[in-house]
């Protein structure tokens, strides 16, 4: 098969497995999604979803959050890890949203990346899932699978994002990145992976995986 045919087949198998792709992080709007994604750094979505109800009951918009003491935010989000840094970022970005963006999460990649605690991946998730703008957020699952499927050389997430954007149609990026995440969690984990049983790796995985 040609590379283009392999890409199409991977896309088809992912679509067959995951025709619906609900966003894993519980949220109600662009602000709560932004905070949830920020909290998900080095933390599971499941843990974030256990923490955010209490946090958003306290404050679910930048105006209320900016008035909450950082120590109170930190106490709530502690189970997510990195709580000193994340709590300050949540407080600071809330104030900046009020001061610079009229309390709204900006629909702009550069503006999002200027916010405290918001890197390229977090901004990409918000752009794609909150605003529907085509983006391809690359997390550890996507980076790992792109390498295993020979879609990228695995050097870094920046290169992986470029490679995947080049290989797949722009109109499916937002759904596809979630499909790959779901697949990675269910069939293609970092540890305990069995390539011969993996619905994609068994046909398109790197040979080194089978040694």
Which amino acids are annotated catalytic?
A: 121, 139
- What DSSP designation does 149 have? T
8 Å CB contact between 196 and 210: yes
Alpha carbon distances (Å) from 76 to 32, 52, 79, 142, 186: 15, 8, 8, 29, 29
Of residues 87, 89, 93, 107, the one with CA closest to residue 63? 93
Of residues 65, 5, 60, the one with CA closest to residue 27? 60
Which residues, in sequence order, are CB contacts of 20 under 8 Å at separation 6+?
A: none
Which residue carries 């790992």 as its tokens?
A: 144
**String of DSSP letters for 102-131:** TT---S-HHHHHTSTT--HHHHHHHHHHHH
Q: Residue 21 and residue 128: Cα distance in Å, rounded?
A: 13
- The two tokens of residue 179 are 């499909």
């Amino acid at each position: 098969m040609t590379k283009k045919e392999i890409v199409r087949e991977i896309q088809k198998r992912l679509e067959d497995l995951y025709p619906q792709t609900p966003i894993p992080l519980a949220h109600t709007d662009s602000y709560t999604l932004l905070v949830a994604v920020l909290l998900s750094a080095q933390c599971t979505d499941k843990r974030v979803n256990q923490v955010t109800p209490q946090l958003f009951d306290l404050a679910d918009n930048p105006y209320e959050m900016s008035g909450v003491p950082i120590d109170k935010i930190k106490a709530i989000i502690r189970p997510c890890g990195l709580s000193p840094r994340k709590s300050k970022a949540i407080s600071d970005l809330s104030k900046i949203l009020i001061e610079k963006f009229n309390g709204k999460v900006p629909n702009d990649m550069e503006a999002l990346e200027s916010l405290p605690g918001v890197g390229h991946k977090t901004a990409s998730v918000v752009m794609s899932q909150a605003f529907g703008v085509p983006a391809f957020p690359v997390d550890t699952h996507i980076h790992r699978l792109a390498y295993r499927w020979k879609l990228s050389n695995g050097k870094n997430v920046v290169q992986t994002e470029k490679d995947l954007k080049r290989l797949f149609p722009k109109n499916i990026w937002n759904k596809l990145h979630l499909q790959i995440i779901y697949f990675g969690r269910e069939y293609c984990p970092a540890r305990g992976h069995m390539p011969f049983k993996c619905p994609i790796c068994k046909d398109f995985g790197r040979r080194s995986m089978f040694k």
